[in-house]
Structure 1
């Protein structure tokens, strides 16, 4: 079942957009921002050098999490607008809980591999471009970034499964992560907003975050995992009780 879901996910053109974006965006940002980073280093303004660029690559994980579900609910044709892939999937794998486990495992594997390659390449490229200032390669910190990517992919997976609409979910995620972060704005109103999933997860591998609330990496990981587990539980409950 996991192999089947993995093959299905990697057969989606939109998934490859997410893969390409996740793999290329962060290293490309290092190359583009190197002159600006040198100036920031001279003025003492740089923090988390080599890791702060990983944020843009998270869009790849979000896209993968969304399309893993939304592809199942896309209409199969104009002649049958009510028909979708999920009906066929459930005929082949009628145990819905097993289907969700297989989908989640396939998604986690793809996002984890993507995150490991991207995070390692980004940090190592930063060391090449700024050898005198880049921090040493820290496997534990890279692993934390990869875990954050994986949890975000599962978060997008769960929310898309709850609402059954990939366009709305993806739009909200993209706007919140690249245009204006509602979560970050909420931190201006209450420090508890720092524990929202997209904010708290970044504390797992970034040592300096905007705002006055500082969360230990282990605490951040536990809170992020709790968010994802709760949303996955809600998504699973709805999925097993709603018609296909």
Structure 2
């Protein structure tokens, strides 16, 4: 618990993490307000679809939690890196990574729940055709799981690259500008099992894909991707110098 607490304090000290938290909380609600003014019916996914862009905040948190360890500190601090101090304080690299993953998961889970409450409430207030109730709680859990898995996936990629530029660029572009995964479904149906598309089935019921995937299956597929990527990151982290 002490290690997790220490990692939570590290996250709280990062300005980028606070910006990401604000983005994850405000962006979905703003999208919900804009969509409520549209004359097009959004169907069963109204409100929940608006929560998808908020995962960008989860991605940023997952990336900076790892990349911040490799930033070179100022000359007044000796020009070192946080990772050196971290590994000096925690002898076990396994425990260090588990604590970091837990801190990311806890932070993102709280943000997902808060954002879901704000966004779904905003949706029900601004769109009289939408009604959100206790029956939607499993989908809120799905949103939370999707955000957590996405953040951990981003952390795993960053662990391999030791830089936040590549994972941030790819993940955010893929999530917000053009979905490479969706384009690949035009070439092969196997692309539906890429982590972002498979994971969306956790909370969306009208996913435009060529394969029908159950929510539980989608979650398991995305979870498997996270295990594989995080496993590669762990092996690389264990074998190379800090």
**If the TM-score is normalised by the length of the shorter chain, which range does it land in?**
over 0.9
Give the CA deviation at 1:107.
Answer: 0.6
Give the CA deviation at 1:47.
Answer: 4.3
Question: RMSD between aligned alpha carbons?
Answer: 1.6
Give the CA deviation at 1:133.
Answer: 3.0
Deviations 1:160-199 (A, max 9, x none): 0011110121011111111111111001111110100011
Instruction: Decide whether the 8 Å contact of 1:22 with 1:61 is kept in 2.
Output: yes
Task: Name 1:117's counterpart in structure 2.
Answer: 114
In the superposition, the TM-score normalised over structure 1's length comes to 0.93
Q: 1:32 aligns with which of 31, 34, 47?
A: 34
Task: Name 2:8's counterpart in structure 1.
Answer: 6
Listed as ranges, the matches of 1:226-237 within 5 Å are 226-237=224-235
Task: Name 1:93's counterpart in structure 2.
Answer: 90
Give the CA deviation at 1:134.
Answer: 3.4
Q: Is 2:47 aligned against 1:50?
A: yes
Task: Name 2:20's counterpart in structure 1.
Answer: 18
Q: Is 2:71 aligned against 1:71?
A: no
Task: Name 1:102's counterpart in structure 2.
Answer: 99
Q: 1:186 aligns with which of 171, 184, 187?
A: 184
Unaligned runs of 5+ in 1: none
Matched residue pairs, number? 239
Task: Name 2:153's counterpart in structure 1.
Answer: 155
Deviations 1:22-57 (A, max 9, x none): 011001111122111xx102xxx6441111111110
Q: 1:81 to 1:180 in 2, by over 3 A?
A: farther
Instruction: Decide whether the 8 Å contact of 1:49 with 1:134 is kept in 2.
Output: no
Give the CA deviation at 1:119.
Answer: 1.2
Give the CA deviation at 1:79.
Answer: 8.3
Unaligned runs of 5+ in 2: none
Give the CA deviation at 1:135.
Answer: 4.5
Instruction: Decide whether the 8 Å contact of 2:64 with 2:164 is kept in 1.
Output: yes
Task: Name 1:214's counterpart in structure 2.
Answer: 212
Q: Is 2:241 aligned against 1:239?
A: no
Deviations 1:77-127 (A, max 9, x none): 368997311011111112100000110011100000000111122112211
